[in-house]
Structure 1
Amino acid sequence: MLYWITLLIGIAGLAAALALAGKRVLFLWKLFKSGQPDPERTLQVKREPKKAVEGQAVEVLGQKKLLKWTVAGAAHFAVMWAFFLLATVYLEAGVQLVFGLDAHIPFVQTWGPIGFVQDTIALACLAGLITFTIIRIKNAPKKLGRKSRFSGSHLGGAWVILFMIFNVIWTMFFFRGIEAAREGLSYGKAAYFSWLVGQPLKGVDDNVLEVLEAAGLLLHIGVALVFLVIVVNSKHLHIFLAPLNVMFKRQPDGLGAAQPMMSKGKVLDFEEADPDEDTFGRGKIEDFTWKGYLDMATCTECGRCQSQCPAWNTGKPLSPKMVVLELRDHAFAKAPYMLASEEEREKFTDEQKTAMQVDKELVAEDGVIHPDVLWSCTNCGACVEQCPVDIEHIDHILDMRRFQVMIESSFPSEAGVMLKNLENKGNPWGMSEMKRLEWIEELDFEVEVVDDKAPEDMEYLFWVGCAGALEDRAKKTTKAVAELLHIAGVKFGVLGPMEACTGDPARRLGMEFVFQMLGQQNVETLNEAGVKKIVATCPHCFNTLANEYPQIGGNYEVVHHTQLLAHLVEAGKLTPVTPIEENITYHDPCFLGRHNKVYKQPRDIMSHVPGVKTQEMHRHKERGFCCGAGGARMWMEERIGKRINTERVDEAMETNPDTISTACPFCLVMLGDAINEKKNEGQAKESLEVVDVSQLLIRSIKGEDAPKETVSAE
């Protein structure tokens, strides 16, 4: 009789849970399916299945990103593997539900090591839950405000999930302990904790224990079924969606190139585009792709992106986490309307439409995303780098910018000046193209200027960039690199007036049309000149030439100047000899570091300079802090919160440096400006400067003939 009661209750609970969970899964499937097509996501998995498998092994099973956060990562690792391994306990519970409490799976449920692993991972999971509890209490938003990475997250849901996982653990030990007391635990003492739990119950009437075991079994199964229903209706849906999001992430990763503008699954052709039929970026939630919806539903609300965001850390309204959550909540609210037929939509009342946010604008002061949020982004990539489930925040922000810029003509006014200069003069400052050669006049050797075809003996085209040619501080880097290449015997040339802006500021602002115009012009120039290898001093130019120009027919071997110089030093073609007795801290440019994983070479250069003592800032390499210039922010005023460049210089000054080094003209300008402000306020020593690593190298190679002040950021 007890067997049939247990079986019927179990089957009824299973049917109810599957019905509720199935309804939610069907809703999510329909929502994802309604998104714009993104065929490249599935094609890349077919083209490179090995990478897809590696992603699952390293990021999902190996928890690579989470383990960078040591304690929290280890706790999550334990809980996640408990989720996998304790599925075997549920398999066993299912067998006992169907075939009776004394039933066991032959050769599996009787093998001691399995019981040992089950008990051990369950205890590790319990330790993980305690760790999570401490972390959440210690970092509660009520205590830390916006400094808490949980600020803005749905906190109640997280506590419910922790409680449910705890219920899984204690109910498992409860029914297995009773099983041990009845001498029915097939693993015996190998399942050591289950066995220990059962010892105090020894001697209790077997009929009582049998009822308790059946109740414990139903409790254990019931907790899992309730957990399933909660999970598919909460942020913990990532348990099932994270592997999919990792599989379909952009390759090689979500940084590097900005995606081309897509419409209906195809790259948008501006010459044939129809404003009424095609989507120009994302102007409403329906414009997002199915991968965009997958990103939204996968977010775990962990706040790691938020904790690393330079905008959020300096008092601005942008939180990458909140952008994703606000888009997700809006998508879920509007989904019934989006999925309804035209006839069904006509039947909705005004109150229902308001509840479904039908008329709510995507980007507006009273919309889903506030404009200040959208324009605070520097495209630094810290959010994408840190996200444990590979959400592509930058892509979504950039696509919303594209609609605002190209359709709404709504963007910060000062950026409009930059766009006009790009269109009319080919550079953000609006200077004459002939000024691109003025820096050469200050050198004491000839530099090849490519007019038509590149000479056959030219090893590299030196892409000087707008800042490198036109901005006084960046010119010093340009001259230093040119001189170093000359000393090393590297044959190089420049385009001079034929070089135009790569279009990075326009693209990152959202003006894709201007990027396409400049990019195609440059690609045509480079291809006609027969250029194969390029060296660039600006990480933004480097990133665009290497990663984005292939989208428009420009395929070149592109290196950053630090990569080439590090190679020349290693090969003995450049030999620093004069000691530079200074404490130096290095600032990682975002578009060189996070976007292109170039961390080692700039540091290698400094390590070869005698006398240099280096000290890292507390945020460096993949966790480096932005200078504030990326995402076209170089040409926009920073009116909200603390200036990002000031925050970064404050961090640098904690290392008590004589010099701050970097490898980007934008960083050079931004950090230099912040240093000058500090000097004016009496908060920094007058000798403090910011220089490119190439300037340190040329100083050491040439000796005291290159005095320090000639490479100052002032």
Structure 2
Amino acid sequence: MQLAAIVVSLVISVIGFGLLGRTAVYIYQFVKLGQSTAPGVRSNEPLERTRNLFREFLGHTRLARKGKRWIGAMHWVVMVGFGLLFFTLVTAYGQLFSADFAIPLIGRWWPFEFVTEVISFVMILAIAALIGIRLRNRPAGAGSKEKGKRSRFFGSTMWQAYFVEGVILGIGLCIMLLRGFEGALGGHLSYSAHYPVSYPLVHAFDGMSRGSLENWIYAIAAVKIVISMAWAITIGLNSTMSVAWHRFLAFPNIWFKKKADGGTALGALSPMASGGVPIDFEDPAEDARFGVGAVEDFTWKGLLDFSTCTECGRCQDQCPAWNTDKPLSPKLLMLALRDHSAAKAPYLFAGGGKDLEGNEKLAEEKWLSLPDMVRAEAERPLIGTAEENGVIDPDILWSCTTCGACVEQCPVDIEHVDHIVDMRRYQVMIESSFPSEAGTMLKNLEKAQNPWGMQPKKRTEWIQELDFEVPVFGETLEDISEVEYLYWVGCAGSLEDRAKKTTKAFAELLHIAGVKFAVLGGMESCTGDPARRLGNEFLFQMLGQGNVEMLNEVFGEDTPREKRKIVATCPHCFNSLANEYPQLGGEYDVIHHTQLLDTLVSEGKLTPVTPIDQNITYHDPCYLGRHNKVYTPPREIIAKVPGLKNTEMHRCKEKGFCCGAGGARMWMEERIGKRINVERVDEALSTNPDVISTACPYCLVMLGDSITARKQAGEVPESMEVVDVAQLLLTSVKPAPASSAEPAAANA
């Protein structure tokens, strides 16, 4: 028995460790095939990156979230057990030669044995529970309630997950059996901290002969090693088995994330670069790559992202496109890119795909020497329809609203939005291929600097509807230092009728509070957000550079950042001004209007006194919430308005559901599946509100359109409105009309 156990274990170990090491080197070399990133961008602040890695790893901060904390806790136990119980594998190798082997110094130390047993036992319970959760939530089958595409595991390679979970369960059971036989062999029949969990097994095995106990130890130690090496061999033969490889790849993927402070890759998009060098759009290099047109155009971090995907489906579960039957699943997108890049890897290793000539870069003899499947994969277009044999269908690419739910939910910090926008950039700037209706928006931005194509003089028409003066820089105000804030009204706030209600309400609140502010009027241009999210980086650069030059001149070149105060009512403008304009040389102190209003209420400069006896539900704008972590101020304002009762929707805050307008989707038709704004309004109406509130003009329009359609169908009362938080606050700050018992919040 002992000899057989030794031979089998050592042979399979040589194979297992050999394959595991070979594939680890291969993955490293494969990731290096990606394009360079700008020097220091992924490795700045190493101490902070290391601290964040430990926070995410030990604290499981991306998994231990509200609603899934038990799942996070169970995964934490399995994760810790995977590392800590490596020592039990070392012990198993020693037990092949001596049944009573223990690791020197610590092997018989009671804290080590205590922790080993407790972790092993809890790990068995945890992995059994996780297997149960996977079975219950599998896409189809008895007991799964036929979840289909609504299962977050839809599209995941289920056998791989079950295999990994089965391995962990098997190892845990082997450890407990070995502990029982070890205790019986050593005669430890009295309960102690050395055998806190396996004590019943020790008693069960008591009475067996020493020879039998030793043979059982040899056998189970060999089984434990075989199970472990079966796992090593399996993943060693499957470099794309990321459900297993993420146990190693997650560490560098988290360490090299975009933000050194540990924040998600949301807010600002990464600057457009080629070969790790930012593109000079005034004089781009002849060989500059504009976006991602082939898998080798992704950076090494992109290739690492694809290889790290755990197939957990949390991104898919939260994606507004997927939940409304669009073809986009962030998970399936990452898996498609992972599998394509792996299949194309031999071509890339041979030297192909290094420049815009593609196959011509590879010598003909090398090209012909590649397997047919590799050549076929190398010739596939990255973006293309099924008829074109494309890797990613265009409908997948253009379904994204860039809401960031996928990035927010990903436990291993994959940067889905940046990758999607990079592919859009190539399609727009090189292929000129994008939804036709978006072309009108781009032309309007080029000609009139706003998506609607209206004349700049219309940007101040809303001021004429107020009964107080609003200073306009360059017209009625010459020195911006005379006011505290520059109010960036934005295109929607200036030109869209529903959004103008928010603009006027906010301006009136600032006037009541005695806050000095000014607007730019016709000097404002679109910040470029819709152009950038669509993929037209050149147009964003043009609009952004123009605004930065104008703002720097308005504030004065020598004015410090803390005195360049800007307030914006549009989260998209807010995000561009605060997070993206620093890339263009524009450093400003930018806040959202709900943040300023919350401060003014707290300071007593605005006092809500008039009750609003209404039930409301607040919708989190994606670019205010997930992208910029502003969740509390709007809710604090609502809480301070007498009479208002806010009922949260099921999907709120970090899990908020998009209105459907982001990513330039506001200017594209939804032809596939259910409209996202209709889905969101369905959820809002489930809370039985009188009013739906938000803090974004895009959301105001999208949700308002759905409510208008329902009014026409007679599904909601005519009094139902979608209003900004500022409108609600203004209604409460102003005295109640003498002739009306209930204020009309929507008409503020």
| TM-score range relative to shorter protein | over 0.9
Q: CA deviation at 1:191?
A: 2.0
Aligned to 2:487: 462
Q: Distance in 2 between matches of 1:102 and 1:655?
A: 64
Q: Normalising by structure 1, report the TM-score.
A: 0.95
Matching of residue 268 in structure 1 with residue 279 in structure 2: yes
Larger deviation, residues 18-27 vs 419-428:
18-27
Q: CA deviation at 1:535?
A: 0.2
Aligned to 1:109: 107
Aligned to 1:476: 501
Q: Distance in 2 between matches of 1:155 and 1:145?
A: 14
Larger deviation, residues 137-146 vs 630-639:
137-146
Instruction: Determine which of 313, 324, 342 is the counterpart of 2:323.
Output: 313
Q: Is the 8 A contact 1:453 1:530 kept in 2?
A: no
Task: Give the aligned residue type for 1:211.
Answer: N
Q: CA deviation at 1:626?
A: 0.4
Q: CA deviation at 1:453?
A: 5.2
Q: CA deviation at 1:693?
A: 0.3
Q: Is the 8 A contact 1:337 1:358 kept in 2?
A: yes
Aligned to 1:435: 458
Instruction: Determine which of 237, 240, 245 is the counterpart of 2:248.
Output: 240
Q: CA deviation at 1:423?
A: 0.4
Q: Is the 8 A contact 1:180 1:188 kept in 2?
A: no
Q: CA deviation at 1:92?
A: 3.0
Instruction: Determine which of 114, 128, 131 is the counterpart of 1:130.
Output: 128
Unaligned 5+ runs, structure 1: none
Matching of residue 287 in structure 1 with residue 297 in structure 2: yes
Task: Give the aligned residue type for 1:208.
Answer: S
Matching of residue 346 in structure 1 with residue 367 in structure 2: yes
Matching of residue 608 in structure 1 with residue 631 in structure 2: no
1:526 is paired with a residue whose SS is: helix
Q: Distance in 2 between matches of 1:43 and 1:447?
A: 43
Deviations 1:474-498 (A, max 9, x none): 0011011111111111111111111
Q: Normalising by structure 2, report the TM-score.
A: 0.91
Q: CA deviation at 1:327?
A: 0.3
Instruction: Determine which of 254, 257, 264 is the counterpart of 1:253.
Output: 264
Larger deviation, residues 331-340 vs 417-426:
331-340
Instruction: Determine which of 231, 234, 237 is the counterpart of 1:227.
Output: 231
Task: Give the aligned residue type for 1:483.
Answer: E
Q: Is the 8 A contact 1:453 1:529 kept in 2?
A: no
Aligned to 2:412: 389
Task: Give the aligned residue type for 1:209.
Answer: L
Aligned to 1:203: 207
1:699 is paired with a residue whose SS is: helix
Instruction: Determine which of 328, 332, 340 is the counterpart of 1:330.
Output: 340
CA distance 1:189–1:195, shift in 2 (3 Å) = farther
Q: CA deviation at 1:348?
A: 2.8
Deviations 1:534-559 (A, max 9, x none): 00000000000000000000000000
Deviations 1:4-40 (A, max 9, x none): 7655544433222121112211221111011101145
Matching of residue 52 in structure 1 with residue 49 in structure 2: yes
Matching of residue 446 in structure 1 with residue 469 in structure 2: yes
Unaligned 5+ runs, structure 2: 141-145, 352-361, 557-563
Q: Distance in 2 between matches of 1:28 and 1:383?
A: 24
1:468 is paired with a residue whose SS is: helix
Aligned to 1:408: 431
1:449 is paired with a residue whose SS is: coil
Matching of residue 37 in structure 1 with residue 36 in structure 2: yes
Q: Distance in 1 between matches of 2:402 and 2:176?
A: 49
Q: CA deviation at 1:279?
A: 1.2
**Identity %, equivalent residues:** 53
Instruction: Determine which of 55, 58, 64 is the counterpart of 1:67.
Output: 64
Q: Is the 8 A contact 1:660 1:690 kept in 2?
A: yes
Alignment: residue pair count:
707
Aligned to 1:358: 378
Larger deviation, residues 414-423 vs 200-209:
200-209
Q: Distance in 2 between matches of 1:464 and 1:635?
A: 20
1:357 is paired with a residue whose SS is: helix
Q: CA deviation at 1:197?
A: 2.1
1:271 is paired with a residue whose SS is: coil
Aligned to 1:522: 547
Matching of residue 575 in structure 1 with residue 642 in structure 2: no
Q: Is the 8 A contact 1:690 1:712 kept in 2?
A: no
Task: Give the aligned residue type for 2:35.
Answer: Q
Matching of residue 172 in structure 1 with residue 175 in structure 2: yes
Larger deviation, residues 208-217 vs 490-499:
208-217
CA distance 1:368–1:352, shift in 2 (3 Å) = closer
Q: CA deviation at 1:221?
A: 2.1
CA distance 1:44–1:340, shift in 2 (3 Å) = closer
- Map 1:621-632 → 2, pairs under 5 A: 621-632=653-664
Q: Distance in 2 between matches of 1:106 and 1:140?
A: 45
2:482 is paired with a residue whose SS is: coil
Q: CA deviation at 1:712?
A: 4.7
1:622 is paired with a residue whose SS is: helix
Task: Give the aligned residue type for 1:164.
Answer: V
Deviations 1:220-245 (A, max 9, x none): 22222222233453121000011111
